Each structure stands twice: as C-alpha cells, then as structure tokens.
Structure 1
Amino acid sequence: MVEDDQGIREILEIFLTSENYDVESFGSVSEFIHRDSTVTPDLYLFDVMLPDGSGIALCQQIKCNTHYVGVPVIIMSAHAHLGHINDICQPDDFISKPFDIENVLEKIENIFI
C-alpha cells in the first residue's frame, strides 16, 4: 500500500492486518521504489496524490511490468474519478475517499473471488 496520509495508512494497515492480510505500507513513491522488489504482493493499493509522484504512475508501471502480470491494483482518491484513471492505467478497482472501511475490505475480497 502506498498512502501518504499517515492516519489513513495506519488505519488501513491495522484493519487489514486484523483481517489476516499481511500489509506492507509506504508513505511515498520513493519508499515504495526502495522496497524489497523480490517480494511479489497479491495486491497493490495506491493513493493517487502522493508527495513525490502519483499512484496512477505506479499503477502504469505495475501494469506494464511482465513480472507483475495478474497482480491487481486498486486506486484510492478523493479527487480523481475512475473514468479518468481507467483511461491511463486500468486499475482493477477504485475506492473513492472518504471511504467506509468495510467497503475497502469488500473491494479487496472481491478481487480474489
């Protein structure tokens, strides 16, 4: 997960961990880029507006990388709309902020059905 708002990042991490998900979170694109890239996650969750880049650009990079074929990407945003984002990076789902935490869990679970 890449989310620059520390409060949102912590809430999502605590909640998803309590739902038995292993969560690795980052506050910036730079932190994400310097992660252990040998680990392939089951899902990416990116905020659109980040202090040093964009979740949309990260989505594009993931979707174009053959190493990550089939790994779903969910985009979160308070300002962008799915239609605009879909034209650029084709995420597997979209979460509009503010969000209901149960809705986030539902969207994540639906990815794997």
Structure 2
Amino acid sequence: MRKIFLVEDDPGIRDTLEILLTAEGFLVQSFGAVAEFNNRDKSILPDLFLFDVMLPDGSGTDLCREIKADKDSLDIPVIIMSAHADLKGISYECLPNDFIPKPFDIDDLLLRIGETLR
C-alpha cells in the first residue's frame, strides 16, 4: 500500500483528502501544522508528500525545500497545493514534482497523484 504524508491546516480539506485518498487505497498520515509534521517518526518515509503552501507555523515550500535537501527523501515526489500561489512563484522556492491550485477538482487531483507516483 502506497503511503502519502499530507500537511494541510484546514481540517475540512485535510479530512476530505484523507478519506478520499484512503478510499483510493493509499495509507495517509496527515498533519495540521509544520511542528506536527516535524515531530513525525522520520524513519518512516512515504511514497509522496502533499503539502499546502500556507500553514499556521510555516510553509509547505519550506518543507519541500527540506525534503529535497535530505539525502533520505530527495527522490520522494512532492506535490504542492495552494489557493494563493502559482507554480512559477513556488518553483523559485522549491522544486515540487507538481503543483495543484485550490480549489481543485478531485478527479484531477487523483490523476495527478497517480501520474506523479508512476
């Protein structure tokens, strides 16, 4: 079973994504803030990171940069989601494998996650 680490501060979006992705056969571990994500068991690596940009105690782009700088996780794909940023601005801060603007279409999100994991 493929594992996704989701960092999203909006509980409605986080819960919806967790339910949806679990129904699609993914094992999802979700976090509501950077501090919560940083306190995870770092020996467990996912198949994909899915980060919101604007978080209450940091940003998904900072997390992306940290993931891509770590030799243990640099090859794990990162998808960034945002209602307030665009791929051009995000790419200067980190190099995500994909960018999904919010609000997003569920089918498009699932398609892009599948393509990123291939």
Shorter-chain TM range is over 0.9
Match of 2:74 in 1: 69
What is the CA-CA distance between 1:69 and the residue it aligns to? 2.3
For the residue of structure 2 that corresponds to 1:69, the secondary structure is: coil
Runs of 4+ in structure 1 off by over 2 angstroms are: none
- For normalisation by structure 2, the TM-score amounts to 0.94
What is the CA-CA distance between 1:46 and the residue it aligns to? 0.3
Percent identity, aligned pairs only? Answer: 56
Match of 2:41 in 1: 36
Say whether 1:94 aligns with 2:73.
no
Match of 1:56 in 2: 61
Count of aligned pairs between the two proteins: 113
Match of 1:15 in 2: 20
Q: Pick from 26, 31, 36 the counterpart of residue 26 of structure 1.
A: 31
Distance 2:38 2:74 in 1: 18
Deviation digits for residues 49-73 of structure 1, max 9, x if unmatched?
0000000000000000111021000
Distance 1:112 1:31 in 2: 25
> Superposition RMSD on alpha carbons, in Å?
0.6
Say whether 1:79 aligns with 2:81.
no
Task: Tell me which protein shows more strand as a share of its residues.
Answer: 2
The one-letter code of the counterpart of 1:3 is: E
For the residue of structure 1 that corresponds to 2:96, the secondary structure is: coil
